[in-house]
Structure 1
Amino acid sequence: MALHVIVGKGPVGTTTAELLAARGHRVRVLSRSGGTSTDTVEHRRVDAADAEALTEAATGAAALYNAVNPAYHRWVTDWPPVASALLTAAERTGAVLVTMSNLYGYGRPTGPMTPESPLAATDTKGQVRVAMWHEALAAHEAGRVRMTEARAADFVGPQVPPAQSHLVRQLATLRRGRRAWVVGDPDVARSWSYLPDVAATLAVLGTDERAPGRAWHVPSSPPRSQRQALADLAGAMGVPPVPVSGIPWPVLSAVGVFSPMMREVVDVRHQFDQEYVLDATATTETFGLTATPWPQVVAATAGAPVASRV
């Protein structure tokens, strides 16, 4: 089977590596810290911003996956050199570049977001993602690389650390029966992308010749508000629902004076004060991928070991 090289060993990179290996592919994971290789997944220590090292590690690969996850407040400084190095490595090796992305580039939505929705972001992080997309697409259209991109909503699933999921971080709160304080309006509908569905989408984009040249949305369950999703999780955990309240934006802004992470959250307030829903119809119609049913997502997420994630 083909060699697939994944850059980044966070939840997305690890889950995708496991899936590709289970399908019989050779898998190599690159990260700054390296890792312990197994019979099915090789780990190498490589800086994602080092084009030469990436090229050497990806030589002979059918696909090169960008599953890098810079610190939230460092996107402006950390993403450009990484994106450039990955493009260079893809061009030099001929591997299709599969980038894991999100919905930030669309800015404030006016309805369900599709891959054809305008990339109208005005916030800093959204503009970073838009610039990355345009640079990669231009290289593709010039015939220098083959590229594609998966865009997902907020992550959910037992594989996701609390810091990377608005739902997983509340599991301990639900278990204790305390009020859940959430970012934004707890009653607006939101899409949630189950991490195994994210990995399944990436794996298809790296192996199907119909994928390059455009972006694809990860099939996700019908939207649920944060209040509804937390009630669902509580039910799956066998505990009563808890009160759910939105943290006032002035409080978040005040915390942001001291917390770079919280400043970035306030900067994308538009993602939390109205419906934030993706449409993955094109992905389903083209590749036959569908979202894992929400009850299964909830059951799996609720079964995450709470004690080890707080």
Structure 2
Amino acid sequence: MGLHVIVGKGPVGTTTAEELVGRGHTVRVLSRSGGTSSDSVEHRSVDAADAGALTRAAAGADVLYNAVNPAYHRWPTDWPPVAAALLTAAERTGAVLVTMGNLYGYGRPTGPMTPDTPLAATDVKGRVRNRMWADALAAHAAGRVRVAEARAADFVGPQVPAGQSHLTRQLPALRAGGRAWVVGDPDVRRSWAYLPDVAATLATLGTDERALGRAWHVPTTAPRSQREALADLAEAMGAPAVRVSGIPWPVLRAVGLAVPMMREVVAIRHQWDREYVSDGSATTAAFGLAATPWEDVVGATAAALREPA
């Protein structure tokens, strides 16, 4: 058992902290705003872009986890200094650096995405993530750091705040049996990553030497379209069947003129109009990690969303 330092206290950081505590590790969480420490998790206030501060706060760490989540439209400006600071802190402390990644780097998918799928993104956000990974791999190859990356599909589960979930932001429609308006084609199949499975993958990558020097996908169950997933969730909640429609792209483009985040969503339209499927079989084969059954994911999410009696 050792000291595991997580940078970021959002849903990924918080759930990973719980997973690591459950495995018997000492856990420290770093964030700009800090937090209230408990007997199991220490919180400290640290600027993730400050390499010196990160290094001091991560002194003695065995593993350093990048669970930072910059504002969606600020990736080009906010990610580079944070990624550089994390690499510097990992090099100075000797800690393994495990980064929470995503599927953006693959660009337009032509089939299920695996860690060996070429990183062919042409959009800004995908190129930002690919640059981060290229820099990390170069440092790893030079013997300066030891790195691994977990990549996941869209998060799902009660640990994800409703406003950050493509499914649970439809809660009003689910409860009222109304119409849910979703981004993209509601019938395109997608992978969904249950947040406890994400945390289990990150914790495993940080404690197994076989993980180093490459990326791994979080295991997921069979893909479900937004229409199917919302129907499953409504049924589990005991709610009426929900009607699902896609928001027209011209409407989203118009909204994007005033809302930067929506403008970024339009820029990755390919993630919503064609199958977006992640293959985590290599992770399962190497580490024995399996995805939580979909019915359990839906049940846990529905239980958290039901209105109080």
Distance in 1 between residues matched to 2:263 and 2:147, nearest whole Å: 32
1:165 CA drift (Å): 1.3
| 1:304 is the counterpart of 2:304 | yes
1:305 CA drift (Å): 3.7
Distance in 1 between residues matched to 2:103 and 2:121, nearest whole Å: 10
1:162 CA drift (Å): 2.0
Q: Which residue of 1 aligns with 2:235?
A: 235
Structure 2: runs of 5+ lacking an equivalent: none
Q: Which residue of 2 aligns with 1:100?
A: 100
Whether the 8 Å contact between 2:237 and 2:306 is mirrored in structure 1 is no
Alignment-mate amino acid for residue 15 of structure 2: T
Q: Which residue of 2 aligns with 1:209?
A: 209
- Structure 1 runs (4+) deviating above 3 angstroms are 305-308
Alignment-mate amino acid for residue 170 of structure 2: Q
Q: Which residue of 2 aligns with 1:183?
A: 183
Alignment-mate amino acid for residue 194 of structure 2: Y
Distance in 2 between residues matched to 1:299 and 1:203, nearest whole Å: 24
| 1:126 is the counterpart of 2:123 | no
1:304 CA drift (Å): 2.0
Secondary structure of the corresponding residue to residue 304 of structure 2: coil
Distance in 1 between residues matched to 2:23 and 2:243, nearest whole Å: 43
Aligned length: 308
Q: Which residue of 2 aligns with 1:154?
A: 154
Q: Which residue of 2 aligns with 1:7?
A: 7
Distance in 2 between residues matched to 1:173 and 1:303, nearest whole Å: 17
Distance in 2 between residues matched to 1:166 and 1:298, nearest whole Å: 14
Whether the 8 Å contact between 1:171 and 1:306 is mirrored in structure 2 is no
Whether the 8 Å contact between 2:176 and 2:240 is mirrored in structure 1 is no
The superposition leaves residues 181-200 of structure 1 with CA deviations (integer Å, 9 ceiling, x where unpaired) of: 00000001000000000000
Distance in 2 between residues matched to 1:92 and 1:243, nearest whole Å: 54
Output aligned runs, 1:38-187, within 5 Å: 38-187=38-187
Distance in 2 between residues matched to 1:266 and 1:236, nearest whole Å: 31
RMSD over aligned CA atoms reads 1.0
Secondary structure of the corresponding residue to residue 276 of structure 1: coil
Distance in 2 between residues matched to 1:66 and 1:138, nearest whole Å: 17
TM-score by length of 1: 0.98
Structure 1: runs of 5+ lacking an equivalent: none
Q: Which residue of 1 aligns with 2:273?
A: 273
Secondary structure of the corresponding residue to residue 285 of structure 1: helix
Alignment-mate amino acid for residue 302 of structure 2: A
Secondary structure of the corresponding residue to residue 211 of structure 2: coil
Whether the 8 Å contact between 2:175 and 2:240 is mirrored in structure 1 is no
1:14 CA drift (Å): 0.3
TM-score by length of 2: 0.98
1:306 CA drift (Å): 6.2
